[in-house]
Amino acid sequence: MDQFPEFISQLPEVDIPWEGVGGNLLQGEGIQVVFLHFQRQTVVPEHSHRAQWELVLAGEVALNLEGEQTSYRAGQSFYIPAGMVHGAVVQAGYRAIVFFDQADRYQTK
């Protein structure tokens, strides 16, 4: 699958600060679920926020979690505890479903 189904792509778009990166937001009480897609390789600078769990659907991400780098591919998932410093290099074609334990992690466009 190259993209998300129409009922997901019709969800509100999230305001992502990187060129070639998009996502759609499913908002819950106290939580956000973002369906992310990357059209180009993207370096995500180190940062931290509340807890995050990510399921990789396609492509590859090299996650740097407090200085330790691990790569994840389709079918794998990873968890980032609240407050843990992390960054990543995300390859073009990456798609993931990301759960944030934070109702205001992203804003819509």
What's the pLDDT band for 87 if we cut at 50, 70, 90?
Answer: very high
Assigned domain for 9 exists: no
Its domain, for residue 89, covers 31-109
Residue with tokens 């998009």: 22
Biggest alpha carbon–alpha carbon distance for the chain: 38
The rounded mean pLDDT for the chain is 95
Are 63 and 86 in contact, with CB atoms under 8 Å apart?
Answer: yes
30-53 pLDDT tens trace: 999 999 999 999 999 999 999 999
Q: Are 54 and 90 in contact (CB under 8 A)?
A: no
User: What percent of the chain stands above pLDDT 90?
Assistant: 94
Does a structural domain hold residue 64?
yes
Confidence bin at 1 (pLDDT 50/70/90): very low
Q: Is residue 19 part of a domain?
A: no
Residue 5 lies in a domain: no
Whether 84 maps to a domain, the answer reads yes
Answer yes or no: is 14 within a domain. no
**pTM strictly above 0.75:** yes
Evaluate whether residue 86 is within a structural domain: yes
Residue 25 reports pLDDT greater than 70:
yes
68 in a structural domain: yes
Rounded (5°) CA angle 103-82-37: 60
Per-residue confidence (pLDDT) for residue 66, from 0 to 100: 87
- Report DSSP letters for 80-105, one per residue: E-TT--EEEEE-TT-EEEEEES-TTS
